[in-house]
């Protein structure tokens, strides 16, 4: 198991034991795992994103902290609206996959719906769109599909 996987698992265990919200010191966590603070940044920015269902707050400097909150949704519509608001103007193929995987894992869409939306937003489906515009078109398509799912 890679060090980043171990750190990620540790943070997830903490979140579970603290009802979905934790506050960490970047340097303290780095010392605990004998890594540089940038390794902690990497884990947090790659594994604890809105696409994965987390909200991150951070303050640097002395007394700085990282607050991680696992987003819990009251219903399917709240989850979908959070995702729509998190997408922004552009969306990479990888980020689209992460959003959809999170929705499927949390039971908001079925595997079949996940696959259909992935097919519609894939680089292959968007091959007729210029590469410089692809991420913007993908974001628009996904937002519109999610609005339909929201009802």
Percent of the chain past pLDDT 90, that is, above it, reads 44
Q: What is the per-residue pLDDT across 6-34, written as a single tens digit (0 to 9) for each?
A: 999 999 999 989 988 999 988 889 999 99
The average pLDDT across 116-132 equals 95
State the pLDDT at residue 62.
63
* CB proximity list for 46: less than 8 A, separation 6 or greater: 4
In this predicted model, which residue has the larger pLDDT, 5 or 62?
A: 5
Q: Where do you find CATH 1.10.1200 in the chain?
A: 76-150
Percent of the chain past pLDDT 70, that is, above it, reads 95
Q: What is the per-residue pLDDT across 24-77, written as a single tens digit (0 to 9) for each?
A: 988 889 999 999 988 988 899 888 887 677 888 887 766 668 899 887 766 777
State the pLDDT at residue 136.
96
CATH T-level assignment (fold) for domain 76-150: 1.10.1200
State the pLDDT at residue 85.
83
Q: Average model confidence (pLDDT) for the chain?
A: 87
Q: Where do you find CATH 3.30.56.130 in the chain?
A: 3-70
CATH level 2 (architecture), domain 3-70: 2-Layer Sandwich (3.30)
The average pLDDT across 66-94 equals 83
Predicted TM-score (pTM) of the model is 0.60
């Amino acid at each position: 198991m890679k060090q980043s996987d171990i750190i990620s698992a540790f943070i997830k265990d903490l979140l579970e034991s603290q009802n979905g919200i934790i506050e960490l010191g970047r340097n303290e966590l780095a010392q605990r795992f004998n890594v540089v603070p940038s390794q902690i940044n990497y884990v947090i920015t790659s594994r604890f994103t809105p696409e994965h269902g987390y909200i991150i707050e951070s303050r640097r400097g002395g007394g700085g902290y990282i607050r991680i909150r696992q987003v819990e949704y009251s219903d399917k519509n709240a989850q979908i609206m959070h995702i729509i608001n998190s997408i922004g103007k552009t969306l990479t193929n990888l980020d689209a996959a992460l959003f959809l995987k999170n929705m499927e894992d949390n039971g908001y869409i079925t595997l079949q719906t996940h696959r259909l939306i992935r097919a519609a937003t894939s680089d292959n489906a968007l091959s007729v769109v210029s590469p410089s515009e692809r991420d913007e078109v993908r974001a628009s398509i996904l937002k519109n599909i999610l609005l339909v799912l929201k009802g």
